[in-house]
Amino acid sequence: MKLENVMVGSDPEVFVVKGNKIVPSFDLVGGSKFNPRPLGDGFFVQEDNVALEYNVPPARTKEEFAAYIFEGIDRAKSILPKGHDIKILSSHRFDASQLKHYKANIFGCEPTQNAWLNGDWNDKPDVPTDGLRCTGGHVHVGYKFDGDNKEVNNTIIKWMDILLAVPSLAIDKDTDRRKLYGKAGEFREKSYGVEHRTLSSFWLQSKELVEWVFSQTMKAVDKVNEGLVPDAEDELLVPTAINFQDQKAIDRILDKYEVSL
């Protein structure tokens, strides 16, 4: 099993603030999931539920990836109305008065799969009644492979959970988002590869974290290229660690694979 021409991309979601208040992105930047607004040079932006989502070109190095991530933020900020800015936060509860727009109630428009259940489909999340909304920091892996992409995608996602999602729990303490999204093994298959959907957007906070995400993703690809697969213990521990923030399971995975931030 050998993946070639590997590239890493992302479509992070962030909240918009006006003054000191987080506000929905409705009618602020334009664009939609199926018709994103181009910002030039392979960058795009769209309104996703109440969040602002931007897309970056795929990268081959951690330096290139970090440059694209922060360039994307700058380009998104440049088209926001005066007095608005961007806030990086995993989840937020909006007032009911802010959620009357139809976009605020669109959830799970495309189904996701679970790598730990051999690609079985996840249930669509219900619309929260408490105003909870969240942001994702999804990581896309593009590759060329002459073989069974289903098996490859499941294995990549499992290693990304081990090398990215489990250690991220030490920084991203938000548990509300996992009530809706970001469960262990959550992914979507793509024409060019696969999208890991477990991480929130917490890692946009610094260049070091952005580069760490790229490096750990490439380590996951290396595991696949070495023909390695997570074992039976991982099949139990990783979902327990991520979905329930079980500290014993987290510590076992971190020690077993010598993972750190």
| 3-state per-residue secondary structure call for the chain | CCCEEEEEEECCEEEEEECCEEECCCCCCCCECCECEEEECCEEEEEECCEEEEECCCECCHHHHHHHHHHHHHHHHHHCCCCEEEECCCEEECCHHHCCCHHHHCCCCCCCEEHHHCCEECCCCCCCCCCEEECECCEEEEEECCCCHHHHHHHHHHHHHHHHHHHHCCCCCCCCHHHCCCCCCEEEEECCEEEECCCEHHHHHCHHHHHHHHHHHHHHHHHHHCCCCCCHHHHHHHHHHHHHCCHHHHHHHHHHHCCCC
pLDDT value at residue 108: 62
The whole-angstrom separation of Cα 147 and Cα 134 is 36
Residue 147's pLDDT band (cuts 50, 70, 90): confident
Contacts 24+ apart (CB under 8 A), 248-252: 250/166, 250/169
pLDDT value at residue 109: 67
Give the phi and the psi of residue 130 in degrees, each rounded to 5: -105, 10
Residue 140's pLDDT band (cuts 50, 70, 90): very high
If you average pLDDT over residues 62-77, what whole number do you get?
A: 98
* Domains of the chain by residue range: 4-114+126-257
Give the phi and the psi of residue 214 in degrees, each rounded to 5: -60, -50
Do residues 135 and 12 lie in contact, with contact meaning Cβ atoms separated by under 8 Å?
Answer: yes
pLDDT value at residue 85: 98
CATH of range 4-114+126-257; options 3.40.50.10490, 3.30.70.260, 3.30.590.20, 3.40.50.720: 3.30.590.20
pLDDT value at residue 97: 96
pTM to 2 decimals? 0.96
pLDDT by residue (tens digit) across 106-124?
876 688 999 999 999 998 8
Give the phi and the psi of residue 11 in degrees, each rounded to 5: -135, 70
pLDDT value at residue 83: 97
Give the phi and the psi of residue 103 in degrees, each rounded to 5: -65, -30
pLDDT value at residue 107: 77
Do residues 23 and 39 lie in contact, with contact meaning Cβ atoms separated by under 8 Å?
Answer: no
If you average pLDDT over residues 163-188, what whole number do you get?
A: 95
If you average pLDDT over residues 223-228, what whole number do you get?
A: 97
Do residues 211 and 219 lie in contact, with contact meaning Cβ atoms separated by under 8 Å?
Answer: no
Residue 96's pLDDT band (cuts 50, 70, 90): very high
* Sign of the CA dihedral running 179, 219, 171, 67: negative
**pLDDT more than 70, % of the chain:** 99
If you average pLDDT over residues 50-61, what whole number do you get?
A: 98
Per-residue CA distances from 12 to 122, 221, 260 (Å)? 21, 21, 23
Token pair for residue 124? Answer: 């669509």
- State which amino acid sits at residue 91: S
pLDDT value at residue 124: 85
pLDDT above 80 for 261: no
pLDDT above 80 for 77: yes
pLDDT value at residue 253: 98
pLDDT value at residue 67: 98
pLDDT above 70 for 133: yes
Residue 37's pLDDT band (cuts 50, 70, 90): very high
Residue 127's pLDDT band (cuts 50, 70, 90): confident
